[in-house]
A and B are shown apart, each in its own frame.
Chain A
């Protein structure tokens, strides 16, 4: 039986403890400050133009996205086309040809999708290299910038396939003198958007509040014996665990609210955003609870939490590169967080994400069971 009075007392204890822990508060303040700075500044352009943002000066040209083989990621892009620039996704044999070359309207650009030699499809997933060959009219490759600004974030939302994308550009007219540019020549500021930063900040806040802080506080409680003292008091184990979850969830939601309100207030009303934040936070708290209960000391627990974050990143990288690791992505709820959060930052989320949300819900449910079992069995003993 869960008693609300007990939860209130335990919550008050956690909040009072946080207030007396300046380092945790400082980190939360720092993340909010980063968000505030992001919201009040513009990306730095490496072109050094007077307007501060070279891309803003470019007139949007219509772009033909030309492919040989229709893929799921192209379907995803087709469902999420921007208002500007106008993008047509067409199969290669439907592009008008004259004298062996494409006959596009004079101001239109093209982006050709070329699959690498090692490209293959296994078990419903695609693996290998995909080159996006941008062809621009005239001499200025920057006319494609609005397209790339839409393309990369939209593609990032859809990152579950084991594909490696590369970008290159060249003029449509072979006599044009501008040298081809590659992704390496593109400014980071051109690729990083406020939506991407907001998503990353949300992930950091959730990890910090729900995993790192929970691990630190719970392991400290366990090491000092204060957790045992609480369990021996009238508060039962479920109430103690629930109070901890509510406390860290409130910090996570509060931090996320602050960041979204500063960087992208328009998406505050999107229920999917909060659903994903809720599921991810709960999932991370479960992982944190397992770490805190299985580690012997606070120091080892904090180290394990860090290993979880770094190890997770490496495993995700391996999962996108090698088929043997691909299953990891299917088993990790974190896999679904980034694309859905990023999508909600850009536009109302489509039906495309529903399977992801359901899978995430199931995985978080499993984690709740594991964390509860760990805490009840080893949590205070």
Chain B
């Protein structure tokens, strides 16, 4: 098993009387693509702010890339990249100028600027001022900036927000590639499909507390439902029934429907991460 890239032990963040994060403990391994989910106000962004050193925790012990946060902030900050949920470019500069500034700060050769721009398909817009960029282009420029110095850990707040279908796929592919190269990716998103598709592990946070942390496969196994939805004709009318196969009487009802009635459609219900998320966080509509 690889060494932990992020270790959070009993993190508590309070704003006055309000507790935003309450006793969060979490370990993210090196090279892992980790999804951090939760409804609005669950404490996701607060946790990321603590991890990047922008917010001081009220309690708890945090280690990132082996360094203590916030005590060793100056040493650890070169090890990570942070893609916030809002763009923070110098609007008057071109895309290239924005990246060149950071290439110089990281002491990188300027050729990495072109490489990053090409990787996010921004080469053609490189010499256009950022104020003329679309939201999606700004987002991609932000990602290009943060991957330029090949950080060990990448924090993503909503990585595919404002991106079109093609760019979304491009970014997901990039994330998989970076993770395969050993970069630890810690992302928050509301896109359940994304979590299911790309994350190695997922943690669900609700009201500042960790509810569950597992692989998407285990989530599917644990929360899989054995429901069959049958649609059939009965006395000239279309009837729909949902049958739980874990219950004996409902299994018998299904057999009866199939044997006696004229079935129009029978299908099993697929696992839905969105439903699981809503159920776990207690936000499902009843």
Contacts and interface: CB of A to CB of B under 8 A. Distances in A.
B88 A234 contact: no
By secondary structure, the A interface counts as helix
Nearest to B55: A381
A165 to B, nearest CB: 50
Nearest to A20: B92
Interface stretch (B3-11, B97-105, B119-127, B248-256): B97-105
Contacts of B93: 16-17, 20
Contacts of B107: 5, 234
A6 B101 CA distance: 11
A225 B92 contact: no
Contacts of A20: 92-93
B105 A17 contact: no
B89 interface: yes
B105 A9 contact: yes
A370 to B, nearest CB: 21
B90 A232 contact: no
B101 A9 contact: yes
Which interface residue of A17, A226, A235 has the most chain B CB atoms within 10 A?
A226
B91 A234 contact: no
Nearest to B87: A225
B92 A21 contact: yes
Nearest to A380: B54
B105 A234 contact: yes
Nearest to B80: A232
Interface in B72-119: 74, 77-78, 80, 82, 84, 86-93, 97, 101-102, 104-107
Interface of B: 52-55, 74, 77-78, 80, 82, 84, 86-93, 97, 101-102, 104-107, 145
Please name the 7 residue pairs, one residue from A and one from B, whose CB atoms are nearest each other, closest first.
A225-B88, A20-B92, A233-B105, A9-B104, A229-B88, A226-B88, A234-B78
21 contacts: A5-B107, A13-B101, A20-B92, A20-B93, A224-B90, A225-B84, A225-B88, A226-B90, A229-B88, A229-B102, A231-B77, A232-B77, A232-B82, A233-B105, A233-B106, A234-B77, A234-B105, A234-B106, A235-B105, A380-B54, A381-B55
Given A9-B105, A13-B90, A233-B77, 5 more contacts: A224-B91, A228-B88, A229-B145, A232-B53, A233-B105
